[in-house]
Amino acid sequence: MVSEPKTPFGLEPNLAAGLAYLLGIVGGLIMLLGGGTNRFVKWAAAQSITLWATYFIAWIAIDIVDMVLGVAHLWMLWPIMGIVSMILGILALVSWLYTSITAFQGKEVRLPVIADLTEKFFASQLT
């Protein structure tokens, strides 16, 4: 008798993966550290952490560039940074909705760039 890989807290795999995406970094950490061995859930949790950590780092970088532009008296470039910030926010929202919905449907999601970073940073947890 072959047993199926365990999921955190005994949840169905699609529910655990969906919650990992839906709850962002916190959900990813809970599902990754929740004791499960299910590869689908671990991937969703790790990719959720990577997605939101990357978003926060990019958001901080944009704010730093904004401050530098202000100090350098280059206020005329602030509208461009506003557009960049808005695009980043829209990408984050679309990614969050897409990953959450597809994970609840039981489908694995591999976001461009984010999937590569996830494999790099979480290689030991995903084996």
Task: Quick: pLDDT tens for 82-122.
Answer: 999 999 999 999 999 999 999 999 999 999 999 999 999 99
Mean pLDDT for 33-50 is 94
The chain-wide mean pLDDT, for the chain, equals 93
The two structure tokens encoding residue 71: 């100090």
Residue 5 has pLDDT above 90, yes or no: no
Q: How far apart are CA 127 and CA 117, in angstroms?
A: 15
Q: How open is the CA angle 112-47-105, to the nearest 5 degrees? A: 90
Q: Are 69 and 77 in contact (CB under 8 A)?
A: yes
pTM: 0.91
The two structure tokens encoding residue 82: 């506003």
Q: Are 31 and 44 in contact (CB under 8 A)?
A: yes
Residue 21 has pLDDT above 60, yes or no: yes
Residue recorded with tokens 């990754």: 32
Q: pLDDT at position 83, please?
A: 95
DSSP string, 59-109: HHHHHHHHHHHHHTT-GGGHHHHHHHHHHHHHHHHHHHHHHHHHHHTT---
Q: How far apart are CA 50 and CA 25, in angstroms?
A: 8
Residue 75 has pLDDT above 60, yes or no: yes
Return the percentage of the chain with pLDDT > 90, whole number.
77
